[in-house]
Structure 1
Amino acid sequence: MLCFAYGSNMSTQRLAARIPARFVTTALLPAYRLAFHQQGGDDSGKCDIVPASDQSAVYGVIWEVASHHKLTLDRYEGLDVAYDENWLTVTDLAGEGQFEVQAYVGKITSIGMRPYTWYKHHVLAGAREHGLPAAYIRAIERIEAQIDPDPERHAREMVLHGQDESLVRGA
């Protein structure tokens, strides 16, 4: 099954800590925008995709995921509780055509949500790793993040990228 990751699961390290998956390509979802308004179980903002009528687009990564691993990913993402599963058409950035992909779309959204710095780091790491457009990365960099009040969780998340958590607490 092909899954479109547009948030923290763009990061190979983040996704590999959850399930095995094979990178397929980078892609563009037209007429959508990225929002950090999905309320996570930790009360911070997580990524969501929102239909947009303007020239907005969401960039992301297509992963091939085995069906038995997809069930594990569904649990991590809170399928049917926090996120719904939608099928969308995305365009390959390498010019190889279009793909029908599964994507998680937020169900529990709230205005004013902010991601934790470690979560924003996962999203940026994945965007940079997969060579998403510089302007798109800069837009994510401008998202205001907050420091996780749980320093142990912050440290656990940052170790996925081989980072000393103290270096990015305020990132």
Structure 2
Amino acid sequence: MLCFAYGSNMSTHRLAARIPARFVATALLPGYRLAFHQRSGDGSGKCDIVPASAQATVYGVIWDVASHHKPTLDQYEGLGHAYEEAWLTVSDIASSRQYEVQAYVGKITAHGVRPYGWYKHHVLAGAREHGLPLPYIRALERIEAFNDPDAKRHAREMAIHGIDEPFAREVF
């Protein structure tokens, strides 16, 4: 099954900590914008895609996920509670080939929520790793994040990227 990741699951390290998956392509989703307004149970904001003008675009990564691993990913994403499943058409950035993909779309949105620094780190790491356009990366960098009050969770999430400094709170 082809899944379109536009948030933290763009990062190979982040996704591999959850399930195995095979990279297919870097892609764009026209007519949508990225928002960090999906309210998480921990009070922080997670990524969501929102229909927008025809000029808007969300970039992301297409992963091939084995059907027996999909239920595990659904659990991580809170399918049925936090996110619902949608089928969308995205285009490969390099070849313009179109793919029908599954994506998670937020159900619990709120204004004024911000991501934790470690979550923003996952998103930026994936965007940089897969060579998303520089203006898109710069826009992600401008997203305001805040420190997770749970230092152990922060350390655990940063360790996914090989950062083991327990007090490393800077968001790049």
TM over 0.5: yes
Amino-acid identity (%): 76
Q: Distance in 2 between matches of 1:14 and 1:40?
A: 17
Q: Distance in 1 between matches of 2:60 and 2:153?
A: 25
2:109 counterpart of 1:131: no
Deviation at 1:164, TM superposition (A): 3.4
Q: Does structure 1 retain, via aligned residues, the 8 Å contact 2:30–2:54?
A: no
Query: What TM-score do you get using the length of structure 2 for normalisation?
Result: 0.97
The answer for unaligned runs of 5 or more in structure 2 is none
Q: Alignment partner of 1:68: what SS?
A: coil
Deviation at 1:165, TM superposition (A): 3.7
Q: Does structure 2 retain, via aligned residues, the 8 Å contact 1:154–1:165?
A: no
> Counterpart amino acid of 2:80?
D
Query: What TM-score do you get using the length of structure 1 for normalisation?
Result: 0.97
Paired residue for 2:121?
A: 121
1:1-171 matches, cutoff 5 A: 1-165=1-165, 168-171=168-171
Aligned length: 171
Q: Which runs of 4+ in 1 moved over 2 A?
A: 164-168
Q: Does structure 2 retain, via aligned residues, the 8 Å contact 1:6–1:59?
A: yes
The CA RMSD over aligned residues, in Å, is 1.0
Q: Alignment partner of 1:152: what SS?
A: helix
Q: Distance in 2 between matches of 1:26 and 1:12?
A: 12
Q: Does structure 2 retain, via aligned residues, the 8 Å contact 1:117–1:168?
A: no
Q: Distance in 2 between matches of 1:129 and 1:149?
A: 28
C-alpha distance after superposition, 1:102-135 (max 9, x if no partner): 0000000000110000000000000000000000
> Counterpart amino acid of 2:125?
A
Q: Alignment partner of 1:145: what SS?
A: coil
